[in-house]
Amino acid sequence: MTTDPSSRSSRLPHATLAVYGIALICGSLYPLSGWRSAGVPMLGFLFDPWPRWWTVFDVVFNIAVYLPGGLLVAMLLRQGRLAALALPLAVLACSGAAVSLEALQSLLPNRVPSRLDWLANSAGALLGALLASPGERLTAASQRALEQRIAINRTDSAIGTLLLGVWLLIQWPSQRLLFGCGDILGAIVWLARLADPGASGADWRLDAVHTVFAEALGVAMAVVGVGLVVREVLPTRAPRAGVTALLLLAAAAIKTVAGAVVFGPDKALAWLTAGAQGGLLIGAVVLALLAAARRVTRLRIAIGALALASLLTTLYPFDIYYASVLTGRESGSWRNLDGLLRGAATVWPYATMLWCAQRLLRLRRTHPIIEPT
């Protein structure tokens, strides 16, 4: 007996909640170093006087951060035996997580736990839980559309969709290389210093004369990698080229807005360099040529393209202007969000390569001969 795909629950909330939980912990406890005991009760902030100084932005930010948590937990609870209690249990779970993370902040330098933040977090969870019903309908409709392709299951499509959504988010922080992700130079230098204490990042970077070429190739490979992931996630009958174009336009819009906010309106298009323009054009041409390739070939090329883009991001020539931007970042919530997104940008290409490799293994097991789809 087969089950109607439309009657099965979506896996997207499960995958999103897992990533959201990791992001919430990392963002709340950023920079995850300098732990020490402050000599006060960890829950003492619950009984402290109300803060004399606070901003509307911080309150709205704390509400917005926990809104997805309330939404996702409530959606998952509505699928089980506790459906009738989904709303209060979701709020209780998120509020408990919020108070725990606030308490842990008392062990970090430059972090001050706040009862106001906790209440704002709980309010955000409540708002999210109230949106569980429409959120459930939206994800179910999206999942049915993705399942029109038989070869990709619910879990794979959910994770692939989530990876593409995260890719959009990580375009906000300023980058040395357009769409540049996977910079692990810090880890490479740390390992090199174990053998040579005098090693530095300059020893590994490309020379400045290769800047335009490295940027063009890096951007092209990023576009190819993202475009091939889109093609693997979407159903056969979907307008894949149009969706890829919209995704790239959305990323460009995020870059433009971020540039205007961080550097000023006159620098909004600073990301559109000669190398970036060449890379976008090359990437679009390569994607068009790969449209008729076999799926296993596209997945292998996606892995290679993402690996090369990550390598170029890591070895990209030093940029004094970019380094000055990093040292001048704002503090507070923006700094924590910026740090979280930069961490996600480091991990994203490697997580996406693992997803592509997993798709290859699944296709080999289920379809020994893969035709273009």
Residues composing the chain: 373
Please tell me the predicted confidence (pLDDT) of residue 306: 96
Do 141 and 274 touch, CB atoms closer than 8 A? Answer: no
pLDDT tens, position by position, 5-35 = 444 566 777 888 888 888 888 778 877 777 8
Instruction: Count the domains in the chain.
Output: 2
Within a domain: residue 223? Answer: yes
Share of the chain above pLDDT 70, in %: 86
- Asked, for residue 171, whether it belongs to a domain, the answer is yes
Please report whether residue 263 resides in a domain: yes
Torsion angles phi and psi, residue 145, rounded to 5:
-65, -40
The answer to whether residues 229 and 179 belong to one domain is yes
Residue tagged 């576009």 (tokens): 223
Show which of 103, 126, 144 is a domain's final residue: 144
- Establish if 203 belongs to a structural domain: yes
DSSP characters over 90-143: HHHHHHHHHHHHHHHHTTSTT----HHHHHHHHHHHHHHHHTHHHHHHHHHHHH
Tokens 């040579």 map to which residue?
196
Contact 278, 216 (CB under 8 A): yes
Which residue blocks in 196-239 are alpha helix, DSSP H? 211-233
Amino acid at 42: M
Question: What is the tens place of the pLDDT at every residue in 193-220?
Answer: 777 777 776 678 888 888 899 999 999 9
- The owner of tokens 């996406």 is 352
**pLDDT at residue 322 above 70?**
no
**Could you report the per-residue pLDDT of 85-123, keeping only the tens digit for each?**
999 999 999 999 999 998 898 888 777 888 899 999 999
Taking the whole predicted model, whether its pTM rises above 0.75 is answered as no
In this prediction, residues 34-63 reach a mean pLDDT of 81
Domain span including residue 247: 150-366
84 with 110, same domain? yes
Whether residue 35 contacts residue 108, with contact meaning beta carbons closer than 8 Å, is answered with yes
Kindly state whether residue 371 falls inside one of the protein's structural domains.
no
Q: What is the mean pLDDT of residues 182-191?
A: 83
Rounded CA-CA distance 317/319 in Å is 6
Mean pLDDT, rounded, for 357-373: 73
What DSSP character marks residue 5? G
